[in-house]
Amino acid sequence: MTDSDLPQTHEVDDLANRLFFRLYQSANLMHKSGTKALEDVHITTQQWAVIGALARRGAEGGIAVGELTRFLLVSRQNLTGVLSRLERDKFIERVVSPHDSRSRLVRLTAHGRTLWRTEMSARISSFYEGALEGFSTTDKIHTIHYLDKLLGNMKRMDGETGES
C-alpha cells in the first residue's frame, strides 16, 4: 500500500486546535483551582455553579430542573447527582411549583443562601480577582463576547435542545 492508496485526510487548523486546547486546559484548571478555593466549605465547582444559578436575582422562588439543565448546559443525569448532594447537605430543597402542583422547583434553603452570601462570595471574588489579574474591563467584555459567539456556534452545531 502506498500513500496515494490511503484516504485523503484534512489538515487540522493549528490556530483553532490551539484555541480549543486552551479552552480545555482552562476548564480543567478552573475546576481544579475553583474547587481548591472552596475546599474548606466542601463545595465543588459543579455545586458552586448550581448554588450560583439559584442565588441569581429572580430565582428566589426556585427553578425547574429542566430550566437549570438548560442554563448550566449539563445533562439531567449529571445535575441529579449534584442536586442530591446539595439537598443532603441542606443547601437546596425541592418544592412544589405554585403554578403546577405536579412540578417541582429547586431553590436555595436559608442555609444555602447564608453559605452563598458569607462563605462562598468572598472566596469566589478572590478567585475571580486572581484569575482575571491583568484583564481590563474591555478585556472582560471582549472575552464574554467571543465566548458567547463560540457557545452560540456550538449550540447550533449541536442542535441545541438545552441538554448536553
Segment 6-51, tens digit of pLDDT: 666 778 889 999 999 999 999 999 999 999 999 999 999 999 999 9
C-alpha cell at 64: 425547574
Whether residue 141 is predicted with pLDDT greater than 50 in this model: the reply is yes
Q: Are 63 and 53 in contact (CB under 8 A)?
A: yes
Looking at the chain, list the stretches that DSSP marks H as alpha helix, in order from N- to C-terminal side: 14-37, 45-54, 65-72, 76-88, 110-114, 121-131, 137-158
Segment 58-105, tens digit of pLDDT: 998 999 999 999 999 999 999 999 999 999 999 999 998 888 888 889
Mean pLDDT for 135-146 is: 97
Alpha carbon distance 152, 110 (integer Å): 35
